[in-house]
Chains A and B, each alone.
Chain A
Amino acid sequence: MVGRPLADEELVERARRGDESAYEELVRAYQGIAFRTAYLLAGNADDAEEAAQDGFVKAYRALGRFRSGAPFRPWLLAIVANEARNRRRSAGRRERLALRAAADAPSGDAAPSPEAAFLSAERRERLVAGLNRLGERDRLVLSLRYLLELSEEETAAALDCRRGTVKSRLARALERLRVELGEGTGG
């Protein structure tokens, strides 16, 4: 992420002046996080793909309203997340996305990342099962903030709420997850 804000700022300025290649670079940089954010919100990959694609096009058209010097990523994620929510709503979808723990890489593959190695396979399963038992709202805020590693600002943008709200939702969701895991304080 180091250096990214500066580069973004320049790319955004160039895109604003109609430089489509500059915008394409921004798309390449952020399509991964945009798609995954949309995926968690929309609940399926097809809608997520459409939401991300349309979100990028709409963001381009809205560049005139983008505040110079502001970070691009949360602004983009807000637009993509809105697209994803609209799709879910208009399709009247109720199905829940079930998170799954990835299978352990077979031995011989690249060594697991230090972060992944920090959790035993059993603990991973328990955490994922716990997350899946949470209400949609709790699960979403935890997934965006920790699984996608969005900042508080970005999580707020994706959820269309204020940063303070993200903080309090996170605290409540963590507490409920602890209860699900049988580790709750009961308070």
Chain B
Amino acid sequence: MADLERELRALAAAVELPEPPELSARVRAGLGRHEPRPRRRPILAFAVALLAVAIGAAFAVPQSRSALLRLFGLKGVTVLRVDRLPPVGPGPVVFGEKTTLAAAARIVGFRPLLPKLGKPDAVYLERPAYLVLLYGKPVRLRFSELRPGYSPIEKFAKVSQEVRPVTVDGRPGLWIPGNHVVIEFGNQPRLAGSTLLWEHGDLTLRVEGKLTLAQALEIARSVP
């Protein structure tokens, strides 16, 4: 009897088990949203997805998989309302290739639209049709444009606040005030600031930064 038990104990060191993940940061983030004795319902959060493909992206993130609650739609944009945020990595906030406006225009096949914000400090392109203009050093504003219909473009964001439908010059848009999480093209999830998304002709445009709705709308209306 004792020998087999001893052998099994020895086997412990020789059985393959997956490495435990580092949970402390995520658990701690969870504590913030759930007081030891919660009196309120857990705060609902939202996710934005460009294209329905993003629903797949959401389900690929285990933390949000169990908690898909509701969908909003905008052309080329889906908002997923989930109750748990995907974890945010410390990774870089840019992705794609650094390029110039002229080079980008040749690749994306549309003339980049520029808000009246002056010359962007950096231009990034995620092929085939997602363009990101960065303003300020360090970045204080991101202006992105995408042509919907390309399945490779996927992005979702979550916020713990409302997603408000708005109109920009009569066209539908969404205002997501406050921080939320964005996943773009399967890149590292990143924390995003307040964001306005709206349709503009064939494109879907997005401006993100420390903005009020009024400021975001002003930028949006400055796009020709």
Contacts and interface: CB of A to CB of B under 8 A. Distances in A.
A89 to B, nearest CB: 14
A175 to B, nearest CB: 9
Contacts of A24: 24, 27-28
A63 B10 contact: no
A61 B34 contact: yes
A72 interface: no
A127 B21 contact: no
Given A64-B36, A174-B4, A35 B11 contact: no
Interface in B10-43: 10-18, 20-24, 26-28, 30-32, 34-38
Contacts of B4: 174, 177-178, 183
A137 to B, nearest CB: 16
A107 interface: no
A97 B64 CA distance: 24
Chain A: number of interface residues, binned into ranges: 35 or more
Contacts of B18: 35, 39, 45, 48
Interface string A121-149: 00110011000000000000010001111
A181 B200 CA distance: 71
B contact patch SS: helix
Contacts of B34: 57, 60-61
Contact of B37 (A52, A57, A64): A64
B9 interface: yes
A50 interface: yes
Contacts of B66: 50
A61 B22 CA distance: 20
A161 interface: no
Interface stretch (A3-11, A111-119, A152-160): A111-119
A contact patch SS: helix
A142 B5 CA distance: 9
B8 A115 contact: no
B62 interface: yes
Contacts of A18: 36
A70 to B, nearest CB: 17
Contact of B11 (A16, A63, A127, A183): A127
Contacts of A34: 20, 23
A127 B8 contact: yes
Contact of B24 (A28, A39, A119, A149): A28
A129 B52 CA distance: 45
A63 B13 CA distance: 33
Contacts of B63: 50, 53
Contacts of B8: 127, 142, 146-147
Contacts of A177: 4
B1 interface: yes
B11 A146 contact: yes
A79 to B, nearest CB: 13
Contacts of B16: 99-102
A132 B82 CA distance: 38
B9 A149 contact: yes
Nearest to B3: A183
A67 B13 CA distance: 33
Nearest to A17: B36
Contacts of A102: 14-16
Given A52-B23, A174-B5, A20 B10 contact: no
Interface string A10-52: 0000001010100110011001101110010000011011101
Contacts of B9: 115, 146, 149
Q: Which 8 A-B pairs have the closest CB atoms?
A: A146-B8, A35-B20, A57-B30, A116-B13, A115-B10, A56-B27, A32-B20, A27-B24
5 contacts: A24-B27, A32-B20, A52-B20, A113-B13, A115-B12
